[in-house]
Structure 1
C-alpha cells in the first residue's frame, strides 16, 4: 500500500468529483439510489456537493468547531438537472481550499487526525463512495483505482472508532477476528478486544474471512455497497453479519 501525501489526496479528490459529475450529466435525477435509502440522484448530488463546500469552508477558516452544514448557503440549484454542473464546480473549489492550507495545521475534524490533512483524505473517499452510489443507481460499470480503494478501506477502519453516532461502541469481543482479503494482495485483519477493536494490514485468515477479487470490491463491502451474496465468506458468517450491522459510518 502506498503512502499518500495531502497533495495526492487532493488531486485524487479533484478527479473523483469530476468523474462523479460526468457520470451524472444527462442522467435522470429522479432515479432512486438504492444504496442510500430514501434518496434519488438529485438528493445524492446535493449532499455530496454540499459536503464539499462545507469541508472547504472549514479548511479555509481552519475551523476550531464543526460548522452547521444544514444552515450553510451552498448555491444549490433548484433545478435538479443543473446539479451535476454545480457538483463539478467543487472540483475547483474544494482543492483550492485544501492546497492553500498547511496540511499540518490543526483544525476541527470528527476523526482522530485533527489537522487539515484529515479533510483531503476524507473528501476523497466521501466522493468515491457516492460516485459508486450514483453509478450503481444509473446501472453503469463501477470502477475504482486499486490504490485509491486500498487507501479507502484503510481510511474506513481508521475513522470507524470515531463515528460516535453509530453503534461502534458495541464492537467489542474476546479476540475474534474479521479478515478482509482481496485477490490483488490487499488484506486487513480486525481484532475485537474486550475494550476496543483494532486493525492491521495482514494476509492472515480470521474467525471469519471475506474474500473479494479486488480492493475496490472490499471498499464496497466495508461501506455496505455490496450484499452478502456478492463475496465469498469463510468461517463464522454470523460474526460477519454482527460486525456489518455495527461497523457503519
Structure 2
C-alpha cells in the first residue's frame, strides 16, 4: 500500500525548498507567482484538516476554510510546512472509513491522502517549471497519478459541465506510456462524463510518451508538442484544454 502521508511530506518539503523568491511568475498557473502557488497548496492542506477533524459531510470548499493568514496576505515556506505537519497528524489519527464529504466518488476519509499527495506533486512540478527545472516523477507514481485523475474526473462537475459543451460524445483518447507498462483509453460519454479503461486500444487521438509526461499532460502542464501524437490532434487539444483539473 502506498504511504501517501510520507509522500505528502516529501512533496511539501520539496516545494518549500523552491519557495525562495516568491515573486517568480508561474507560467503553468497563469496570473500566479510562487507566493500564490504556495498559498494555494497550504490552503488545500488546511481544508483537508478541517474536513477530516470536523467529519464534515456537506460540501465545503477550501476558500471557505480559515487559513490563519491576514486578509490579502500570502503564505511562505514556513506557513506551508506547518500546515502540512497538521495534515499529516490528522491523517494519522483519522479512521480511513470515516464518512466525510469529498468532491470525488469516495465519501470517506481515505479519499483525502491520495488527493492531497497529487495536488502537492503537481504544484511542486509547477514551481520547478517556473524555475526552469524539469520535474522528475517516478513511473509508478505517475501511473497512480493518471489513474487517480481519471478516477475522480467524472465527478468534477465544473469540468464535466464544460466537457458536455464540446460535442465529443463517443470520442476516444488513448494514452500510451513509452517507458512503463501503462496504457489507458478515455471515452467521452454523455453529459460530459467520461469512462476509462486500462489496456491497448485504438483511439480517435493517441498520445505516446514518458508516463510522467502523460500525467503532466492531463493536468495541462505539458504540451502535446512534447510527445508523439497520432490521429485527431484538434480533438485532443480541445479535450485537454477543457478536462484539466
If the length of structure 1 is used for normalisation, what is the TM-score?
A: 0.88
Residues 1:174 and 1:44: Cα distance change in structure 2 (over 3 Å): closer
Residues 1:90 and 1:210: Cα distance change in structure 2 (over 3 Å): same
- Using the TM superposition, give the Cα deviation of residue 175 of structure 1 relative to its aligned residue in structure 2, in angstroms: 3.5
- Using the TM superposition, give the Cα deviation of residue 198 of structure 1 relative to its aligned residue in structure 2, in angstroms: 0.5
Within the candidate set 5, 9, 13, 2:8 is matched to 13
Within the candidate set 165, 169, 174, 1:179 is matched to 174
Residues 1:190 and 1:172: Cα distance change in structure 2 (over 3 Å): farther
Partner of 1:190 in structure 2?
186
Q: Partner of 1:105: helix, strand, or coil?
A: coil
CA contact (8 A) 1:76 1:83 kept: no
Count matched residues: 240
Is 1:227 aligned to residue 232 of structure 2? no
> Could you list the per-position Cα deviations for residues 21-48 of structure 1 after superposition, in whole angstroms to 9, with x for gaps in the alignment?
1222xx2111111100111000111111
Identify which range, 60-69 or 129-138, moves more after superposition.
60-69
Residues 1:60 and 1:172: Cα distance change in structure 2 (over 3 Å): farther
Is 1:33 aligned to residue 29 of structure 2? no
Is 1:242 aligned to residue 238 of structure 2? yes
Q: Within 5 Å, which residues of 2 pair with 1:4-153? A: 4-5=1-2, 8-24=3-19, 27-76=20-69, 83-153=76-146
Partner of 2:214 in structure 1?
218
5+ residue gaps, structure 1:
none
- Using the TM superposition, give the Cα deviation of residue 140 of structure 1 relative to its aligned residue in structure 2, in angstroms: 2.0
Residues 1:176 and 1:68: Cα distance change in structure 2 (over 3 Å): closer
Distance (whole Å) between structure 2 residues aligned to residue 23 and residue 182 of structure 1: 29
Distance (whole Å) between structure 1 residues aligned to residue 231 and residue 63 of structure 2: 43
Residues 1:190 and 1:69: Cα distance change in structure 2 (over 3 Å): closer
Distance (whole Å) between structure 1 residues aligned to residue 60 and residue 190 of structure 2: 35
Q: Partner of 2:173: helix, strand, or coil?
A: strand
5+ residue gaps, structure 2:
none
Distance (whole Å) between structure 2 residues aligned to residue 174 and residue 41 of structure 1: 38
Residues 1:162 and 1:71: Cα distance change in structure 2 (over 3 Å): closer
Distance (whole Å) between structure 1 residues aligned to residue 141 and residue 30 of structure 2: 25
Distance (whole Å) between structure 1 residues aligned to residue 196 and residue 31 of structure 2: 32
Distance (whole Å) between structure 2 residues aligned to residue 70 and residue 189 of structure 1: 34
> Could you list the per-position Cα deviations for residues 103-135 of structure 1 after superposition, in whole angstroms to 9, with x for gaps in the alignment?
111110011111101111110111111101111
